Amino acid sequence: MKTISTSRSHGGTQGVYSHASSSCDCEMTFAVFVPPQAAERVCPVLWYLSGLTCTHQNVMDKGEYRRLAAELGLIVVCPDTSPRGEGVPDEKDNWQFGSGAGFYLDATQEPFARNYRMYSYLTQELPALIGERFPADMARQSIFGHSMGGHGALTIALKNPQRYRSCSAFAPIVQPSTAGWSRPALEKYLGADESAWRPYDATALIADGHRFDAFLVDQGTADSFLQEGLRPWLLEEACRKAGIELTLRMQEGYDHSYNFISTFMDDHLAWHAERLGT
């Protein structure tokens, strides 16, 4: 692991690191905020997954999470959204696919299967590294994200309910298998057989029997992607049928930007901290 940068913030340390990933077969970059409490004890881990076109940097610069994370004693890990670098297949003119658009899945189709293995990276490789190199209590983990990252958080939590104590999302893509901006990516990564897409679709996972205790979702009513890409009412219906507790908050006048995310970031941090026992 290489240290790219570290700086003090609210008594803790914000760091950016990189390492050679075996899952993604390239150099991967990630950010970790370590709160001041970590000087005396291990701290619970909260994973934040970013959306399309983003890197670890977006939430670092605009997410406004460090003040309350420091107060609550939360380690916040912000991975990249996809593999990057020379030799990694990409569609440079397509913001909905390739670099910046890994969709938190394990690709099966060539030439993407070698690198686009974000699900394995986030559920196996990176947690092992975090547990080894940081003062992290890996028995207490939670996960949240935005847009494509909200999709990732929901699907990862549903498939690993024993690992995460809580899950929340800002404007998640709740049914990527039918959304216009995600269907093409799923087909390129996973093939034309739509049954192979179901493990990466929150509503399909719930229909197929996967369960999680409760979700918190914030969605802006002025989000330009609401009607065609996000459609939180589909998650609401799936949770209702499955008996999963969903707190869906439609936030009047808010859009899809980090102005929206930063406004409600404290609510999500507090939600997770309560369930992580801080």
Q: Which domain holds residue 211?
A: 2-276
Provide the CATH number for the domain around residue 119: 3.40.50.1820
Give 199-216 pLDDT, tens digit per residue. 999 999 999 999 999 999
- Residue 74 has phi, psi (to 5 degrees) of -105, 130
DSSP string, 64-79: --HHHHHHHT-EEEEE
Could you give the number of structural domains in the chain? 1
User: Residue 167: CA atoms inside 13 Å, Cβ hemisphere, count?
Assistant: 27
- Residue 168 has phi, psi (to 5 degrees) of -145, 170
> Is the pLDDT score of 123 beyond 90?
yes
What tokens appear for 24 in the block? Answer: 């993604």
What tokens appear for 144 in the block? Answer: 């949240």
Q: Among this protein's residues, is 223 annotated catalytic?
A: yes
What does the alpha-carbon distance between residue 272 and residue 142 come to, in Å, rounded to a whole number? 7
Provide long-range contacts, Cβ within 8 A and 24+ apart, for 35-40.
35/10, 35/11, 35/69, 35/70, 35/72, 35/73, 35/74, 35/75, 36/10, 36/11, 36/12, 36/70, 37/73, 38/12, 38/73, 38/75, 38/134, 38/135
> Is the pLDDT score of 181 beyond 90?
no
The one-letter amino acid at 31: A
Give 46-91 pLDDT, tens digit per residue. 999 999 999 999 999 999 999 999 999 999 999 999 999 999 999 9
- The active-site residue, picked from 56, 146, 151, 256, is 256
Longest CA span, the chain: 51
Contact by Cβ (8 Å): 239, 217: no
How much is the pLDDT for 278? 83
What is the average pLDDT across 249-276?
98
- The active-site residue, picked from 147, 166, 168, 182, is 147
How much is the pLDDT for 37? 98
- The active-site residue, picked from 80, 90, 137, 223, is 223
Q: Among this protein's residues, is 257 annotated catalytic?
A: no
What does the alpha-carbon distance between residue 67 and residue 108 come to, in Å, rounded to a whole number? 40
How much is the pLDDT for 55? 95
Q: What average pLDDT does the chain have?
A: 97
The sheet with strand 245-251 has its strands ordered as 2-9, 12-21, 26-34, 75-79, 43-49, 136-146, 164-170, 214-220, 245-251
What does the alpha-carbon distance between residue 151 and residue 172 come to, in Å, rounded to a whole number? 5
pTM of the entire predicted model: 0.97
Q: Among this protein's residues, is 256 annotated catalytic?
A: yes
What tokens appear for 10 in the block? Answer: 């609210």
Contact by Cβ (8 Å): 217, 150: yes
What are residue 256's DSSP bridge partners?
none
How much is the pLDDT for 137? 98
- Return the H-helix or E-strand segment holding 5: strand 2-9
Give 89-115 pLDDT, tens digit per residue. 999 999 999 999 999 999 999 999 999
